[in-house]
Amino acid sequence: MPKINAERLLADQRRLAQFGKYKTGVHRPTFSPQDMEARQWLVAQLTAAGLDAAIDGIGNILGRPRKPGPRLLIGSHSESQNHAGWLDGALGVVYGLEIARAFAEDATCADFPVEVAAFADEEGHFGNFLGSRSFIGDLAEEEIDRSRDHTEGVALRVALERAGLAGRRREQIVPADYIGYLEAHIEQGDYLDRAGLHLGIVTGIVGIWQYRIVFAGEQNHAGTTRMAARKDAGVALVKLCNAIAARFAEITGPRSVWTTGFIRLEPGAPSIVPGGAEMQFQIRDVEVAQLQRFEDALKELVAEADVAGPCRIALESAWKVSPVLMSAPFQEALTQAADHWSPGGAMAMPSAAGHDAQILARKIPAAMLFVPSINGVSHHWTEDTKEEDIALGCQVLADAAESIFRRARG
Amino acid sequence: MPKINAERLLADQRRLAQFGKYKTGVHRPTFSPQDMEARQWLVAQLTAAGLDAAIDGIGNILGRPRKPGPRLLIGSHSESQNHAGWLDGALGVVYGLEIARAFAEDATCADFPVEVAAFADEEGHFGNFLGSRSFIGDLAEEEIDRSRDHTEGVALRVALERAGLAGRRREQIVPADYIGYLEAHIEQGDYLDRAGLHLGIVTGIVGIWQYRIVFAGEQNHAGTTRMAARKDAGVALVKLCNAIAARFAEITGPRSVWTTGFIRLEPGAPSIVPGGAEMQFQIRDVEVAQLQRFEDALKELVAEADVAGPCRIALESAWKVSPVLMSAPFQEALTQAADHWSPGGAMAMPSAAGHDAQILARKIPAAMLFVPSINGVSHHWTEDTKEEDIALGCQVLADAAESIFRRARG
């Protein structure tokens, strides 16, 4: 049974958090100098662990074992959101590194080929799961050509050039070479922390359906236009938001969420009745039926408001990510390992956030393990997880990896 | 009795609308090349009408009579909002020009000193009534130093330099030299047009109280944060907007208006629960008591929502412009002239828009005359007024000016 070294694991987590350190968190946007230094450091650690490690043309790190046979891929992503937490995806990458070392150090597992991945830009500074999509062959050169960093508008091509990655080959998965993919991550919500639990076995990753709702009214003078004569697009938007809030609360599933993340009024001046308005609206659920229930209600509310007037309202589907189920045998392996190391300390749960595992799951069996986020804080520099939970999670993932290998070898 | 020349008047209105022509309207922002060409053309027309005309250091045109005695100032502003109407303030400036000519041509009025003004930037491209405030001595050099064009961010000093106005003296009013100020303008609303009337005698100009409302919640992940655990600043904003809509409708005055012209969510991303939000909210009424009633209700609603949580809400008063009453004798002169030329065709009404007259009224008696806006359209290139109403308004203003002169001279 591979035994992880908790001290070494925590030391590496702490060391990685020095790259782009920001207060008690990190600021390590994709392809920033601090992100590239972190990647170089990871390559060195993976190499020291006996893996053939390199950064590919989209910034993915793959640490490849020199051992024969189907490989188990373990990892996550190492860049961070702006001014965000020290663990997040970095946790899962260092877990991969530590598990590769623990396997190499254990005579009964030393020939199990563990491969470690740190996918680039899971956080979406430039796009949408660029690294893992590149790895499964779902990222065209044209998308790279037109992508830009959302914070500063730097073209992805320029960022790749500056990071020294221009012209490098992008590695692509050969599914038959892999048993599957395991990813650990902080929960990012507070279900585990509130329940006093230590581990989350992810059943599936939520689907995200994203909409743009556009309101067309009539721009007018905010003094001379009588209230009754107005076609105020902002007023129409606010009314619809309220109708959604009331209706969605009635039909919600147990873990459904919906969010208006962006609102804009046109022209957005104090003395002008807004002639146009726009909102971005998102729903998430692990059940397609629930997403459909929400969408049907949304269409109904928009149609009612559009007919009622005085503004015209149009609902556009911006993009849809389908819910993804995690591999049942992998979940079983994780559950057994969790029961062993923390009896009663784990729960099965969906992931309400997107992860590289949902991309990998399109090609190979995939599963995820969560450790608690203290107070559920995520994407903020105060994000944290107890050291004992960090160590526990790594050991459970190592055990699950071992049993997955043994099952694959019959 | 001075007789205006309707053909000459309309020809000049049409000629002025060629500067910055945009579809059937004009695009003539303050100090743009097309605005300066229009001002040069106006100076030439005023000079031809026998006035000493020049552009001063803030862009104001003053066409000064060479005749002795207290002067009657007639005018408005000649720049336009972006892509806006051909008349708006330009109407009142050309009225001033035509009335100066009509007086000069009428033996019984030829010694009445009519002065014509085209104030700069009433539309507020760079600030707030820059021209008329400069003229009454309420514009400090420091404000000029820090003002910028709202569309492109060009510093006012740079714009003045480019317009060739840097270093010129700014003219200031000597109140004792004036009988008062008359301004004509399109109504910008649809009261006259809906009532089938031709003239509006302005009783007062509305007060505008402007607020900034700031919502502080907790930024979080839009997937992993349960609905019940959220402190969504955007949701708090939408709720308050609805509460305002319901409450204000109950306590509104006959012509009150309120407008949310700007909304911003922080950080404004699809997958992030907004941690902050801001809205700009404005109320207008000609009665201070009504404005106060609204403010009291607003304070109450904000306090209730703040206490109820989960977001903190702060109400800030951004600025207040007090309502201004128009001169009663001037209104009487306008009403008599209107009754003569258009029996039953005029109504008394407040102005729901701000005008240079409210600035001038701080120093000298002031009054305003409105002509109808077809369908109430304003600040849009489709703005228009019937030719016969344009001509009628100018004649009525001329008659009122004559009777104001005669009354002033006893």
> Which residues partner with B84 through β-bridges?
B26
What is the tens place of the pLDDT at every residue in A16-73?
Answer: 999 999 999 999 999 999 999 999 999 999 999 999 999 999 999 999 999 999 999 9
The answer to whether residue B366 scores a pLDDT higher than 90 is yes
Chain A residue numbers with beta carbons less than 8 Å from the beta carbon of B232 are 259
Q: Determine whether the interchain pair A235/B245 forms a contact, defined as Cβ–Cβ distance below 8 Å.
A: yes
* Nearest Cα residue to A60 out of A126, A15, A140, A116: A116
pTM listed for this prediction: 0.84
What is the tens place of the pLDDT at every residue in A69-117?
Answer: 999 999 999 999 999 999 999 999 999 999 999 999 999 999 999 999 9
Interface test with chain B among A221, A235, A272, by most B beta carbons within 10 Å: A221
Mean pLDDT (chain A, rounded): 97
The answer to whether residue A128 scores a pLDDT higher than 90 is no
Task: Give the closest of B234, B235, B353 to A223, CB-based.
Answer: B353
Chain A, nearest residue to B373 by Cα: A224
Interface test with chain B among A190, A206, A224, A237, by most B beta carbons within 10 Å: A224
Coil, strand or helix at A286: coil
Q: What is the DSSP string of A144-172?
A: HHH-B-TTT--BHHHHHHHTT-TTPPPP-
> What is the number of alpha carbons within 13 Å of residue A135 lying toward its C-beta?
32
The answer to whether residue B410 scores a pLDDT higher than 90 is no
The answer to whether residue A151 scores a pLDDT higher than 90 is no
Query: Quick one: what percent of chain B has pLDDT higher than 70?
Result: 100
Chain B residue numbers with beta carbons less than 8 Å from the beta carbon of A221 are 188-189, 352-353, 378-379
- A218 pLDDT band, cuts 50/70/90, is very high
Res A150: pLDDT = 86
Structure tokens of A178? 């892999």
This model of the complex carries an ipTM of 0.83
Res B337: pLDDT = 98
Q: Min CA distance, B167 vs chain A (Å)?
A: 32
Q: Determine whether the interchain pair A376/B238 forms a contact, defined as Cβ–Cβ distance below 8 Å.
A: no
Phi, psi (rounded to 5 degrees) for B304: -60, -45
SS3 labels along B172-222: CCCHHHEEEEEEEEECCCCHHHHHCCCEEEEEEECEEEEEEEEEECECEEC
> What is the number of alpha carbons within 13 Å of residue B127 lying toward its C-beta?
24
Res A305: pLDDT = 98
